[in-house]
């Protein structure tokens, strides 16, 4: 097990995360932490004023989920069927810039004297707030400046920034405020870390039209290669002098310093190619007529509803309590809720992993939403369904029938430029189908299964049947794949993959109807083969309870952990992949994850033996990993390890364990903290359609409480020193199981 040294960065607070000092060296990280977003728009927590001193210490960024540029992938040596194009989430026009001067002096963190500087986000109302108290070194005049930002959860295309300037110790000063929309923006330059983003440099948004009407300043731009359009605009709550510089639309105001100033900047982004200009103008008109306070009320109401089901309360560790809320809040900010977008590995907080959607969605994040906000989970599945045509095409690229979903993508096309850790992870199909099954189990929405789910099930299963082989003496084998553990590649019969496919095939066969079979040309022979493959699915078992991660894993030499120093982690940045692949070493949970998702397919002994075998070999170089180990450690009563792993996953971002929060939050690790409580300490599993719990309370805590929705009910689970109580908050009576005892709620 990897040792982490928790070092709290931000103050521990219940419903906020804040900083009370500005540290230029960690500013990029804080910009990620203080991002506000609504699953469509994400605005990093950057300072409003531009300062040359910030160069190399800021990553200005506003992103639109699903809005990307493409560039051809260049291979040193290309081959047939390789993914063709990079897709990279695009930095869109920056609507933040506000420049305030007093008596000709620019108010910034690098001029005058700062007696107070805070940034904060509030999980209850979704507000970003920044306060500065600034004193002129020349005149001694003191001024308080506040910025309040929100990105509306209820109005997809709307954000707002309120600017307040309060004179403190004077009554007269020349105060100028300039507020802008900066159209010339670029993505970060690539720094060589394969986990970071960007595949092109320079500006890729070309301005097609400018907008100046009804107080709106805006731009309609299009990308060079992907040919997508976006309209961006701002509208202020007070009219001012409008200027246009080369890459800057701005409005300016002049005040005499005699009284407090308040200006609200309404912001909108519409990333559609049709009617974007009209939509933008309408959205801005509506938002500005409602005003900032109304937007904030809507925001608060939306979040109140969210926390009603999503909040987890832990007593006994405030740092964890804060992290759980921070994580849930960021998940909500990151998730696409329109059925046209998904949730990127970094949400809409940064350019890491190029803004791509991975299996992170279905395996780590989906359970959080399906149990708390199932309508969002449905949208995520709908989005995958919309990409089924691409997945079919991709299967053709691999000379296979059926459909293969892309390992990483924005637009549905495969964008993994290194197939051994990309396309070869064909478990992505089964991961998505696992989410579908979970969705149907949790919601009972068989209509979705019939209308969209089964088509995906059939096509992805067809891919597996074609890619796999019945091999005499073995059964159904799936060779030439990479499992979840990316430190092992292109192997045969990855146990995780094979078990997930087995489960998918069983689910498919059980869900098929004659009508559906007819609709998709499913023959009896095909069904028979699905049944056979599921039944005869090859699993690399040994003489003992130890199971091979794949056919070859157990016969490899072990990684020389003792000769590896701390600075050599993550291994992927310090060793050639060949060298990593040839040893017994894991980047992340693999078979252990199968023990969570296919819990009933392992005996208790198998879980114990395999956890003890694989855990010490796991570097957790992937942020996805600790949550899974937390869950199984809890199941195996390794409570100390479970708490430690839970702590790791819960505070991955707040404490920046991977030193790359600057590139964006780790949405899957965030969801992992929810999983670690609900699947881990509370032991939630669905067996035969029923909810089962096996709650345990770590000795460090006095209680935890959470709620889940299940087939129309809302159920509250409270575990404290006295035991666990289950409460049906609403919905019809239901039987659940606690420690295998049936309870009627």
Residues that bind its own copies (CB under 8 A): 73-83, 86, 192, 194, 397-400, 416-420, 422-424, 467-471, 474, 477, 479-481, 489-492, 551-552, 555-558, 572-579, 581-583
138 vs 535, beta carbon nearer its own copies: 535
Q: Is 130 in contact with 146 (CB distance < 8 Å)?
A: yes
The token duo for 121 is 């986000």
400 vs 508, beta carbon nearer its own copies: 400
Helix axes 427-443 and 374-386, enclosed angle (nearest 10): 140
80 vs 730, beta carbon nearer its own copies: 80
Whether omega for the bond prior to residue 570 falls within 30 degrees of 0, making it cis, is yes
User: What Cα–Cα distance (Å) separates residue 115 from each residue in 14, 71, 106, 184, 626?
Assistant: 25, 47, 16, 33, 40
CA-nearest of 335, 345, 232, 326 to 281 is 232
For residues 568 and 617, what is the distance between their CA atoms, to the nearest angstrom? 15
The DSSP code for 189 is P
From 31, 298, 459, 486, the catalytic residue:
486
Residues in the chain: 745
- What dihedral angle (degrees, nearest 10) is formed by the CA atoms of 36, 42, 45, 50? -140
Min separation Cβ 499 and its own copies, Å? 18
Min separation Cβ 500 and its own copies, Å? 18
557 vs 689, beta carbon nearer its own copies: 557
For residues 145 and 11, what is the distance between their CA atoms, to the nearest angstrom? 22
Longest alpha-carbon distance in the chain: 90
560 vs 689, beta carbon nearer its own copies: 560
**Coil/strand/helix, residue 665:** coil
Min separation Cβ 583 and its own copies, Å? 8
**Coil/strand/helix, residue 377:** helix
For residues 645 and 648, what is the distance between their CA atoms, to the nearest angstrom? 5
What are the residues whose beta carbons fall under 8 Å from the beta carbon of 231, sequence distance 6 or more? 211, 218, 219, 220, 221, 268, 269, 270, 271, 276, 277, 279, 280
Task: Tell me how far apart the terminal alpha carbons of the chain are, to the nearest angstrom.
Answer: 39
269 vs 419, beta carbon nearer its own copies: 419
Min separation Cβ 328 and its own copies, Å? 32
For residues 341 and 364, what is the distance between their CA atoms, to the nearest angstrom? 17
β-sheet bridge partners, residue 245: 248
- Sheet containing 741-744: order of strands: 685-687, 690-693, 735-738, 741-744
Min separation Cβ 467 and its own copies, Å? 7
Neighbours of 651 (CB within 10 A): 25
Min separation Cβ 485 and its own copies, Å? 14
Min separation Cβ 434 and its own copies, Å? 22
400 vs 591, beta carbon nearer its own copies: 400
H/E stretch holding 65: strand 62-72
510 vs 567, beta carbon nearer its own copies: 567
Min separation Cβ 73 and its own copies, Å? 4
Burial code (b: 16+ CB inside 10 Å, e: under 16) for 541-565 equals eeeebbbbbbbebeeeeebeeeeee
359 is in an annotated binding site: yes
Q: Are strands 713-720 and 723-730 parallel, antiparallel or unpaired?
A: antiparallel
422 vs 484, beta carbon nearer its own copies: 422
What are the residues whose beta carbons fall under 8 Å from the beta carbon of 570, sequence distance 6 or more? 587, 619, 621, 658
- Specify whether 486 is catalytic: yes
The DSSP code for 93 is -
For residues 586 and 625, what is the distance between their CA atoms, to the nearest angstrom? 10
489 vs 708, beta carbon nearer its own copies: 489
Residue 294 has phi, psi (to 5 degrees) of: -65, -40
The token duo for 136 is 């002129």
Min separation Cβ 200 and its own copies, Å? 13
Min separation Cβ 663 and its own copies, Å? 16
For residues 98 and 236, what is the distance between their CA atoms, to the nearest angstrom? 12
**Coil/strand/helix, residue 318:** helix
307 is in an annotated binding site: no
What sign has the CA pseudo-torsion 218, 144, 291, 46?
Answer: positive
Min separation Cβ 196 and its own copies, Å? 11
H/E stretch holding 290: helix 276-290
**Coil/strand/helix, residue 473:** coil
The token duo for 266 is 């309404």
205 vs 501, beta carbon nearer its own copies: 501
Binding-site residue positions for substrate: 359-360, 587-588
Active site residues: 486
Binding-site residue positions: 359-360, 587-588
């Amino acid at each position: 097990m990897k040792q982490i040294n928790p070092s709290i960065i931000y103050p521990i607070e219940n419903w906020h995360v804040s900083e009370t000092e500005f540290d230029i060296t960690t500013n990029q990280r804080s910009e990620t932490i203080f991002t506000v977003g609504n699953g469509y728009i994400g605005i990093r927590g950057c300072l409003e004023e531009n300062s040359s001193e910030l160069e190399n210490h800021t990553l200005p960024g506003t992103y639109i989920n699903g809005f990307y540029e493409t560039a051809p992938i260049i291979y040193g040596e290309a081959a047939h069927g390789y993914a063709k194009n990079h897709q990279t989430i695009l930095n869109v026009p920056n609507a933040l810039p506000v420049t305030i001067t007093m008596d000709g002096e620019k108010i910034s963190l690098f001029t005058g004297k700062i007696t107070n500087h805070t940034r904060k986000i509030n999980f209850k109302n979704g507000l970003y707030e920044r306060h500065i108290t600034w004193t002129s070194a020349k005149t001694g005049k003191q001024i308080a400046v506040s910025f309040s930002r929100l990105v509306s959860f209820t109005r997809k295309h709307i954000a707002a920034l309120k600017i307040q300037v309060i004179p403190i110790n004077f009554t007269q000063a020349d105060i100028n405020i300039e507020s802008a929309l900066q159209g010339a923006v670029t993505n970060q330059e690539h720094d060589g870390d394969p986990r970071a983003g960007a595949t092109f440099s320079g500006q890729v948004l070309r301005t097609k039209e400018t907008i100046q009407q009804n107080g709106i300043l805006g731009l309609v731009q299009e990308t060079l290669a992907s040919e997508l359009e976006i309209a961006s605009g701002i509208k202020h709550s007070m009219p001012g002098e409008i200027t246009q510089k080369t890459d800057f639309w701005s409005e300016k105001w002049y005040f005499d310093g005699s009284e407090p100033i308040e200006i609200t900047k309404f912001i909108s982004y519409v990333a559609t190619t049709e009617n974007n200009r009209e939509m933008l103008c309408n959205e801005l008109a509506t938002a500005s007529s409602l005003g900032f306070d109304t937007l904030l009320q809507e925001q608060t109401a939306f979040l109140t509803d969210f926390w009603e089901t999503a909040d987890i309360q832990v007593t006994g560790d405030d740092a964890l309590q804060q992290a759980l809320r921070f994580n849930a809040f960021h998940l909500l900010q990151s998730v696409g809720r329109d059925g046209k977008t998904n949730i990127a590995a970094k949400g809409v907080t940064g350019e890491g992993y190029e803004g791509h959607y991975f299996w992170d969605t279905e395996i780590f994040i989906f359970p959080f939403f399906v149990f708390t906000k199932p309508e969002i989970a449905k949208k995520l599945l709908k989005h995958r369904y919309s990409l089924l045509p691409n997945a079919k095409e991709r299967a053709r690229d691999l000379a296979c029938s059926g459909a293969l979903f892309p390992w990483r993508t924005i637009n549905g096309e495969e964008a993994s430029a290194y197939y051994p850790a990309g396309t070869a992870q064909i478990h992505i199909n089964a991961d998505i189908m696992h989410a579908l099954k979970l969705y149907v189990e949790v919601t009972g929405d068989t209509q979705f299964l019939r209308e969209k789910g089964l088509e995906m099930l059939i096509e992805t299963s067809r891919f597996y049947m074609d890619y796999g082989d019945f091999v005499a003496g073995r059964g159904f084998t799936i060779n030439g794949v990479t499992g979840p553990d990316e430190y092992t590649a292109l192997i045969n019969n990855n146990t995780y993959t094979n078990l997930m496919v087995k489960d998918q095939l069983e689910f498919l066969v059980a869900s098929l109807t004659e009508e559906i079979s007819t609709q998709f040309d499913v023959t009896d022979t095909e069904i028979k083969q699905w049944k056979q493959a599921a039944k005869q699915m090859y699993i690399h078992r040994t003489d003992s309870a130890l199971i091979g991660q794949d056919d070859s894993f157990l016969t490899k030499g072990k990684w020389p952990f003792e000769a590896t120093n701390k600075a050599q982690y993550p291994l992927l940045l310090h060793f050639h992949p060949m060298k990593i692949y040839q040893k017994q070493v894991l980047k992340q949970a693999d078979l252990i994850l199968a023990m969570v998702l296919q819990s009933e397919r392992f005996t208790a002994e198998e879980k114990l033996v395999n956890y003890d075998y694989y855990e010490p070999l796991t570097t957790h170089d992937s942020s996805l990993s600790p949550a899974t180990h937390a869950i199984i450690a809890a199941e195996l009563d390794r409570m100390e390890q479970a708490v430690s792993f839970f702590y790791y996953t819960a505070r991955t971002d707040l404490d920046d364990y991977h030193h790359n929060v600057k590139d964006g939050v780790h949405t899957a690790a965030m969801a992992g903290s929810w999983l670690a409580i609900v699947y881990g300490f509370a032991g939630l599993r669905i067996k035969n359609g029923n909810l089962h719990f096996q709650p345990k309370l770590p000795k460090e805590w006095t209680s935890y409480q959470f709620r889940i929705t299940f087939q129309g009910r809302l159920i509250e689970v409270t575990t404290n020193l006295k035991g666990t109580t289950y409460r049906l908050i609403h919905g019809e009576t239901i039987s659940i199981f606690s420690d295998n005892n049936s309870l009627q709620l």
